[in-house]
Structure 1
Amino acid sequence: MSDKRSGFKKQMDRSIDYAAVLEQIAGYAAFSRSVAMIRNAMPLETVQLAREQLDFVQEGMEYVRLGKDLSMGGVTDIEPFLDSASKSIVLLPGELNAIALFLSAVRRAVQAFEEEREPRLAEYAATMDPCDKLRKKIEAMIDLGGDIKEDATPTLYGRTQALRQAKADLSVFARGYTKQHATRLMDTTTTTIQGRLCVLAKTPEKNSFGGMIHGTSQSGMATYVEPREFVVRNNKIQSLALEIEEEKRRICRELTAQVAASALALGSDLETMTFLDTVMARAKWANRYDGCVPKFQTRDHSFRFAHARHPLIDEQKVVANTYASQKDQFCLMISGPNMGGKTVTLKTIGLFVVLAHAGFPVLAHDAMLPWYTSMWFDIGDDQSIENNLSTFSSHMSKIARICQAANEHTFILLDEIGNGTDPLEGASLASAILAYLIDCQSTIVTSTHYDQVKEFGKADLHTLVSSVEFDVETLRPTYRYLPGISGGSFAFAIASQLQLEPAIIAHARTLKEENMKESQKALERLEIEQKEVMKKQERFDVLIQNAHRIQKEAEAEKQKWIGKRETLEAEYEHELEAMLDEKREEARAILAKMKNHPEVKVHEQIESLHAINDLAPEQKEEKAAKETFAVGDYVHIDSLNAHGEILEIRKKQATVLTNGMKVNVKTNVLTKMKRPNVPKTAPKPRLERVTKRFPLELNLIGMRVEEGLNALDRYLDQAIVHKAISVRIIHGMGTGKLRKAVWDDLRKRNTVKSFESAGPNEGGLGATIVTLK
């Protein structure tokens, strides 16, 4: 940031609490880089850039309002790791894991937004490269704790297993060794010195073990000895450990090289994720405090901040006000008693102007303002001992620079203009300065308590005089903004409440009357009338606020009922599915009864089929309405898992010929299908009539394996008797056990010529077509 911009940032931080508000917004950001970007935010160069960012924030606010959240879990600033990788500095496992976590967040962000609802955010997020290959490679080798996995490579896995086995072998050997030499040892336990297993030998016996001596106990009675039998095994363990570390370093080098190769894409992803996080932080802040996205207009000087609230004032205590000026009002003048809220009003307006120009939302119900190319602030006491400047001199020095730079695109904030010197001279100077700035057509927001300045404002067509309200009964400011009314000092009321002699107050009033001009008296009478109008306006504003609150509550209630409706629909679907399962079980029971009792008459079978059809619920009316049927159509009967040809249709009922039987069913359980291509035979007329009465398919669904095989055995015997050429066995897909058992049984039968899975329109893998000899 240049010195000029840095100085302007400091001026805003000091004058309008800009830094404190940015810090509040930064609290909603997910990681350090986006936090820093928010803290350093400055007004943008052009209105196009500001509008573009505010459009992103608008979509973000809608995204948050719907209860969604852009997951930034695991995102960190990976720029230092990318710099290291680009310089061939090997990254540590934890740093590589941070990159993998970052890429996981990138992948989530790419899929987070809907193109129809959040087109800008969706398009912006789609520009990122999730680098899936790199992420998967890192995840395959490094765990979430930032450690290299044992099975990251076959080499690492083999050496890790070898190390574990070597340690186990040494441990077993050491237990036997210590038992064998217990008389020369202080203790039969072992210990590890610098990664090497040792025994605790009696000091006089220390040289009898060979090997290496690693130290002596404090008492001198025991010595840490690595026996010669341990040396080779310890060397092997340390050698394996070194090989493992070298393999881990090689893995890190390999992954670092891949990170370096993808550094450009990763850097771009980081910039995009940072911007998305700042957008969502701004959106969350605005949503939390009921803010809005400001709009820019370039027609005139008018601005409006409706129901504005300063972010740093307790939301339970802050007083919302509407600040506005018309197109020909270049100056907004605010008056009122000291400590009455004038400075807060100035700071709120100035803060909202800067936030809008920096692409941030504001805490208001609605906001509209012009685009300014420069902004100036003169708030507070800038007395300088170093430069020998008094408060007045400091203000005048700054105002001189403002006047030199002022033009029609300048926004100026002046607190207590002309203060700090002789009241008459100060008021005269203030009026002259304001007149000059108004001639420049700058937008000026100022405060004053000088009557002469207020009179100037009342007389000037381009100035709106307003005030902040003061309660004379409680002697406290209400912080309510009163446009069009200049505020008094309330000195007499305050003196009366503080028990000053009534005679003194009366004398003071007389002196005031004598010194007041007729114009001032007329202004006072006008302000009394204006206050009456304001009371009516306030009642109207209360109604507007209540309407806004009711609207928000209604929207929240709507969302609640939408959620309840979705829950009820899900529960209904679940209950419907459960009911269908129950009906299917009843259907299977009826079918089983028909199959297990071949002696049942044909008309009784038809009645059973009708009973199955009646079990189907009425949930397919819509399907029936969409699909039409005609006599001759070949259809699948959903409720029976059978198929056949339509012989007759009456309204919503159809007569279908299936398996040699006529069945009356509702059209909402029918689905058109391709007529199966069953090989035609030319049997004798007598046998053909017999075959027609024999069902050409067997349904085993719902049966256990043993039960199904028994039914298959009986059915195939009947098929041979009836001279059937081809039959269809329906076993379903399920776990595949019944299908396997059926195929195993068919392979053993010498009456079966061939068998194969049914076609897509005949049941697919859930059915088998059997050709008999």
Structure 2
Amino acid sequence: MYDLDAFDYNKVLDIVAQNCVSEVSMKRMSDTEPSCTGKDLDEMYSKLAEVKKAIENGLLPVLKKIHDTRPLVERAKIKNNHLSVKEIGFISENIVCFGTQKKLFSDGEAATLFRVIKKVRVPHIVTEKIDSAIDKKKTVRDDATPELFELNRKLKETRREIEKTMEGYLTSPETGRFIRDKHVTIKDDRYVIPIKHNFKGRIPGIIHAQSGSGETLFLEPFSITDKNNEIKLLQKQKENEIRKILIAVTETIGKNAGELNHILDVLVEIDVILAKHLFMKEHRCCIPQFSADRQIVLRGARHPLLKKDVVPVDFIMKSPISGVVITGPNTGGKSVSLKTIGLFVMLAQSGFPVPADEMVTFLFDSVFADIGDEGSIEQSLSTFSGHIKNIREIVDGADKNSLVLIDELGAGTDPVEGGAIGTAILDYLVSRSIPVVVTTHFSIVKMYALTSERITVASVQFNPATCRPTYKLVMGIPGRSNALEIAEQLGLKREILDKTLEFVSEKDRSFDAIFKNLGTMELKLSRKELEITKRAERLGKLKQEYDTKLEALLEKERFIKAEYRREFTDLISGFSSRLENSVMRIREEGASRESIKNAKDEIEKIKGDFHEYGESRSILDVPLDTADRPPLKKGDYVLVNSDYGSRVRGRIKEIDGNKITVQAGLLSVTVDAGNVDPDLEKNLKSYTGWDYELSGRDPGGFECDIRGKRYEEAKIDLQKFLDNAVLKNVDTISIIHGTGTGALRGMVQETLKNCSFVDHFEYAVPEQGGFG
């Protein structure tokens, strides 16, 4: 049992139904009632959630008008009966619409709904039968059958013969002067010509009608009477043939009634889902969650029938609590809160989204309600007898799987007895673990709720400064009726108000003072909470602005670094070309002192240019992004970031995964790869491809050891060694090639012979290696 009328359930369904494209969908939605079957509800909400996600991802489902074809399909089962062309067109449009939806949805888009669509068999025989008989203009095709085609041909031929004869009357000099208008007219499905009334009898024929003024007579000449009769006969035969065609199409429709009704059901379901989605979007709804525990949790719940500035309802009732007592002033929002709770539970159990930020609820077998005080949206005052009658039905029918909602518990009679009866009813329901929410003004009910472990209190907030309710529901704090404050605000004499206090007992005044203080404290806390919330929102916006600006700066930094790296690459390329040209000149000029001096001057100039560029761009001390820099390798010169802010120069001694061992003078340190950057100045030779030094060890100690190297590798190293020796202005060098197969020895001798700046070469004395 669900008391739908008490919560304006059907009014809300009407709001959602306005989003449907067809009346059949509206009716289906209006007939929806709450269910306690979790499986069906899970499937409904899965379809809604998937369609919502699909639409957010760009899906644009469009439904045109859906026709309620179920009565037509039932008529189609009657033998020798036939549907009209228009009615057959409705069935065809539904089939086409279903085909469009089937293409639109897929397993990836609204998979649950697609599984339902996929199960439907489209009766193609119906489509083929309709298409062969009915054209796009929703008329029977001229060639629907050979017989119909022949009848249409004969009709056209007969009409042409009549029109030819009639044309003769219109254009003949003898008869033309008798005719009013030079055109052929049809009266009662027969061809006639309009003649002037004073020439009646001049043309033999039958007068079928005359004009309103009597000036024109409509004459059927005897010469075309037989043809007119033939047309009437052919038209009758055509009507019979069309009737046969429509009976055949209708019979096919009747034989496929199940599939056609299934198509209609799925189209209506899609229409209902899309209507719910629009309601969900317009009212900022959430999809309810169901719990196995007997609980109701509402956050930010907004009654959809209330307009403008709706104060959201936050409500919690969960184990071990099975009862909530809502208190507060009249017109403060108690009844609206109660109705919101009941309405949302029934909407949730009917498969509808609810206008709230969050909702968790138990699946109740029934919802009982007794609502009808002066704060009701549509009902008038309830009498005490009516109140008790409703309570009796609730007590007899409710169990622990029911939800009970009672407005103004115990009202309508003596306050003492009414409060006592209300307390007893509440105790009865709670002791049987029946979830119950009530509103009341009675202090005895409030006190009982405060002392019970199974009941919690709530109140609608009241602002004592303005003597007006804020309509906010506050859990855990009892409320006051604020009758004296409201009376004073409405202008009741002070004398009467003072006298009123004399009739209130000391105990009641004490309780009232406590409740008043609690209400004042809660109001202050609410304001503080609102202030903190607004401040948090401002901080959130500032953080978002900061993150946006930071990302812009980082992007600018990445752009600048990329530009610097491009400039640096071009610079290195230029340095490499200048070094190569210097070495080539030395080779070509035979290593003369002048060419060596020019080369050394060029190298010093390159070094100065490099330092000048580095200082202008600050690239020598700016670490490269890990993702952008070339991979480090053993022997590379690097800069190590120290804990003291300075950077230590060194050379990579060993690399082990993310750990790098660097030799810095006499000190060897192992650090994370993230703390190491390439030393661009020292590694210049790796960028240029030229191995040169301008200072270092004694020129007399120049030695090249190529033992153990492959032929090509050894040749390249030897060439670089000779170029470096020239740039250093070295007089004597040593080359160690080993004995081995003699291949390296031969390569060394051949290279030295062809080198223009080598004066002579010879083997070392035996004690220094001899032929090796």
2:427 is the counterpart of 1:420: no
Inter-partner Cα distance in structure 2 for 1:460 and 1:353: 25
- 1:483-494 alignment to 2 at 5 Å? 483-494=475-486
1:431/1:398 CA distance change after superposition, 3 Å:
same
Q: Does structure 2 retain, via aligned residues, the 8 Å contact 1:334–1:466? A: yes
Residue 391 (structure 2) aligned to one of 399, 416, 428: 399
Counterpart amino acid of residue 80 in structure 1:
P
Q: Does structure 1 retain, via aligned residues, the 8 Å contact 2:296–2:361? A: yes
- 1:213-292 alignment to 2 at 5 Å? 213-215=207-209, 223-292=217-286
Residue 170 (structure 1) aligned to one of 162, 165, 183: 162
1:510/1:311 CA distance change after superposition, 3 Å:
same
- 1:138-537 alignment to 2 at 5 Å? 138-180=130-172, 181-182=174-175, 185-187=178-180, 189=182, 190-201=184-195, 206=200, 209-215=203-209, 223-299=217-293, 301-314=294-307, 316-380=308-372, 391-502=383-494, 504-506=496-498, 508-509=500-501, 512=504, 514-516=506-508, 521-537=513-529
SS at match of 1:479: strand
Residue 16 (structure 2) aligned to one of 10, 25, 43: 25
1:348/1:548 CA distance change after superposition, 3 Å:
farther
1:105/1:318 CA distance change after superposition, 3 Å:
same
Q: Does structure 2 retain, via aligned residues, the 8 Å contact 1:71–1:108? A: no
Identify the residue that residue 102 of structure 2 maps to in structure 1. Answer: 110
The answer to which of 175-184 and 439-448 deviates more is 175-184
Structure 1 residue 85: deviation in Å?
0.7
Inter-partner Cα distance in structure 1 for 2:212 and 2:35: 72
Q: Does structure 1 retain, via aligned residues, the 8 Å contact 2:462–2:519? A: no
Counterpart amino acid of residue 303 in structure 2:
H
1:219/1:61 CA distance change after superposition, 3 Å:
closer
Q: Does structure 2 retain, via aligned residues, the 8 Å contact 1:356–1:362? A: yes
Structure 1 residue 456: deviation in Å?
1.4
SS at match of 1:445: strand
Identify the residue that residue 34 of structure 1 maps to in structure 2. Answer: 25
1:507/1:129 CA distance change after superposition, 3 Å:
same
Inter-partner Cα distance in structure 2 for 1:252 and 1:297: 55
Inter-partner Cα distance in structure 2 for 1:455 and 1:550: 47
Q: Does structure 1 retain, via aligned residues, the 8 Å contact 2:373–2:408? A: no
Identify the residue that residue 770 of structure 1 maps to in structure 2. Answer: none
Structure 1 residue 264: deviation in Å?
1.6
What TM-score comes out, normalization by structure 2 length? 0.64
Structure 1 residue 506: deviation in Å?
4.7
Identify the residue that residue 53 of structure 1 maps to in structure 2. Answer: 44
Counterpart amino acid of residue 104 in structure 1:
V
Identify the residue that residue 93 of structure 1 maps to in structure 2. Answer: 85
Q: Does structure 2 retain, via aligned residues, the 8 Å contact 1:379–1:414? A: yes
CA deviation profile, 1:437-486 (whole Å, cap 9, x unmatched): 00111111111111221111111121121111233444433221111222
SS at match of 2:315: strand
Q: Does structure 2 retain, via aligned residues, the 8 Å contact 1:330–1:462? A: yes
SS at match of 2:208: strand
1:162/1:541 CA distance change after superposition, 3 Å:
farther
Counterpart amino acid of residue 285 in structure 1:
F
Inter-partner Cα distance in structure 1 for 2:496 and 2:511: 26
Inter-partner Cα distance in structure 2 for 1:214 and 1:502: 96
**Structure number, greater radius of gyration:** 2
1:155/1:483 CA distance change after superposition, 3 Å:
same
Q: Does structure 2 retain, via aligned residues, the 8 Å contact 1:214–1:224? A: yes
1:201/1:334 CA distance change after superposition, 3 Å:
same
SS at match of 2:104: coil
Inter-partner Cα distance in structure 2 for 1:390 and 1:106: 51
Q: Does structure 1 retain, via aligned residues, the 8 Å contact 2:187–2:208? A: yes
Counterpart amino acid of residue 412 in structure 1:
V
SS at match of 1:293: coil
Structure 1 residue 175: deviation in Å?
2.1
Q: Does structure 2 retain, via aligned residues, the 8 Å contact 1:64–1:287? A: no
1:100/1:217 CA distance change after superposition, 3 Å:
closer
Q: Does structure 2 retain, via aligned residues, the 8 Å contact 1:417–1:447? A: yes
Q: Does structure 1 retain, via aligned residues, the 8 Å contact 2:460–2:472? A: yes
Q: Does structure 2 retain, via aligned residues, the 8 Å contact 1:156–1:247? A: yes
Q: Does structure 2 retain, via aligned residues, the 8 Å contact 1:106–1:128? A: no
Structure 1 residue 538: deviation in Å?
4.3
Q: Does structure 1 retain, via aligned residues, the 8 Å contact 2:288–2:353? A: yes
Over the residues paired in the alignment, what is the CA RMSD in angstroms? 3.2
Structure 1 residue 126: deviation in Å?
0.8
Counterpart amino acid of residue 142 in structure 1:
I
CA deviation profile, 1:66-107 (whole Å, cap 9, x unmatched): 353433214211111101111132011111111111001111
Which 5+ residue runs of structure 2 have no aligned equivalent?
A: 375-380, 549-772
What TM-score comes out, normalization by structure 1 length? 0.64
Inter-partner Cα distance in structure 1 for 2:267 and 2:194: 59
- 1:615-630 alignment to 2 at 5 Å? none
Counterpart amino acid of residue 418 in structure 1:
G
1:78/1:227 CA distance change after superposition, 3 Å:
same
Counterpart amino acid of residue 65 in structure 1:
E
Inter-partner Cα distance in structure 1 for 2:167 and 2:478: 98
- 1:742-753 alignment to 2 at 5 Å? none
Structure 1 residue 207: deviation in Å?
5.2
SS at match of 1:469: strand
1:546/1:344 CA distance change after superposition, 3 Å:
farther
1:369/1:285 CA distance change after superposition, 3 Å:
same
Would you say how many aligned residue pairs link Structure 1 and Structure 2?
A: 537
- 1:593-604 alignment to 2 at 5 Å? none
CA deviation profile, 1:558-596 (whole Å, cap 9, x unmatched): xxxxxxxxxxxxxxxxxxxxxxxxxxxxxxxxxxxxxxx
CA deviation profile, 1:332-367 (whole Å, cap 9, x unmatched): 211111111111111111000111111221111111
SS at match of 1:73: coil
Inter-partner Cα distance in structure 2 for 1:178 and 1:117: 69
Inter-partner Cα distance in structure 1 for 2:312 and 2:511: 33
Which 5+ residue runs of structure 1 have no aligned equivalent?
A: 383-388, 558-773
SS at match of 1:109: helix
1:45/1:330 CA distance change after superposition, 3 Å:
closer
